[in-house]
């Protein structure tokens, strides 16, 4: 089955603050003209990265396979379970029974790809995309405090001025609090007795 990409959705960040790529595949938006469903990882539901195939025929990213087998050397195939396959046909996933899917990988290599990072106009072949992704000046990192996507090079500014989990000083009592909790309800009920006594009790304030 072929999937036509009508639009490119906003994507979560690919890298953490240290520039280490997070597990899982590539975002579907890299194939703006569409793609075959066999290029989809059955675990993360993104475009396969380092594809491997199980004995029961399901494809996964290598990092997704490692995640599935993190606690056991052999598990029932989660896709077979999801598809309610009969017990006698139920597949299992084991490290020594899964193999690189070189046929699918070769099919993908020469497909036209586009960068999904906002502001980047890079286009090229899929085989070049991973190298571009690592070095893209528009790549987004996950803020370690709020996990929101932030453009590479703007983390310090984000943490100081716009991160909802940054530490700020309460206007009323001057204590340090997390910005996302600095709301009237928090001030009134949980934190600031100064606010309650000196602001809410003021005769000048009316509901």
What's the pLDDT score for residue 140? 85
Print pLDDT tens along the chain (207 aa).
545 554 444 566 678 777 788 889 999 999 988 899 999 999 999 999 999 999 999 999 999 999 999 988 899 998 998 888 877 778 889 999 999 999 999 999 999 999 988 889 999 999 999 899 988 988 888 888 888 888 888 888 999 999 988 988 877 677 788 888 776 656 555 666 666 566 555 554 443
Instruction: List the domain boundaries for the chain.
Output: 2-142, 167-200
First to last CA, the chain: 59
Supply the pLDDT for residue 181: 76
Q: State residue 153's pLDDT score.
A: 80
- The set of residues, in sequence order, having a beta carbon less than 8 Å from that of 136 and lying 6+ positions away, is 115, 117, 120, 122, 152
> Given this model, what pLDDT does residue 193 score?
65
Q: What pLDDT does 8 receive?
A: 43
What's residue 207's pLDDT?
39
Under the phi-then-psi rule, with left for phi > 0, alpha for psi from -120 to 50, and beta for the rest, what region is 104? Answer: alpha
Q: Buried (b) or exposed (e) across 139-157, using 16+ Cβ within 10 A?
A: bbbbbebbebbbbbeebee
The pLDDT value recorded for residue 183 is: 65
Q: Work out the angle at residue 20's Cα, subtended by the Cα atoms of residues 136 and 14, and round it to the nearest 5 degrees.
A: 55
**Phi, psi of 140, rounded to the nearest 5 degrees:** -110, 140
pLDDT of residue 205: 43
- CA gap 40, 48 in Å, rounded: 6
3-class secondary structure, 1: coil
Pairing of strands 59-61, 51-53: antiparallel
Q: What is the pTM of this model?
A: 0.70
- Please tell us whether the domain made up of 2-142 is placed in CATH 3.40.50.150: no
Q: What is the pLDDT of residue 108?
A: 95
């Amino acid at each position: 089955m072929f999937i036509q990409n009508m639009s490119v959705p906003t994507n979560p960040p690919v890298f953490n603050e240290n520039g280490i790529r997070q597990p899982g595949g590539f975002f579907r938006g890299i194939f703006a003209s569409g793609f075959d469903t066999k290029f989809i990882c059955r675990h993360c539901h993104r475009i396969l990265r380092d594809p491997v195939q199980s004995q029961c025929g399901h494809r996964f990213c290598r990092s997704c396979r490692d995640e599935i087998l993190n606690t056991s050397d052999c598990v029932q195939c989660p896709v077979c379970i999801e598809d309610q396959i009969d017990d006698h046909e139920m597949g299992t996933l084991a490290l020594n029974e899964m193999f690189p899917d070189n046929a699918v990988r070769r099919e993908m290599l020469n497909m036209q790809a586009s960068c999904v990072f906002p502001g980047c106009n890079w286009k090229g072949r899929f085989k070049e995309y991973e190298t571009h992704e690592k070095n893209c000046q528009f790549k987004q990192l996950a803020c370690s405090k709020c996990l929101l996507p932030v453009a590479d090079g703007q983390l310090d500014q984000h943490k100081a001025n716009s991160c909802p989990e940054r530490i700020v000083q309460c206007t009323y009592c001057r204590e340090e609090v997390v910005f996302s909790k600095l709301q009237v309800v928090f001030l009134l009920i949980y934190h600031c007795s100064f606010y309650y006594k000196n602001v809410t009790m003021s005769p000048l304030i009316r509901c």
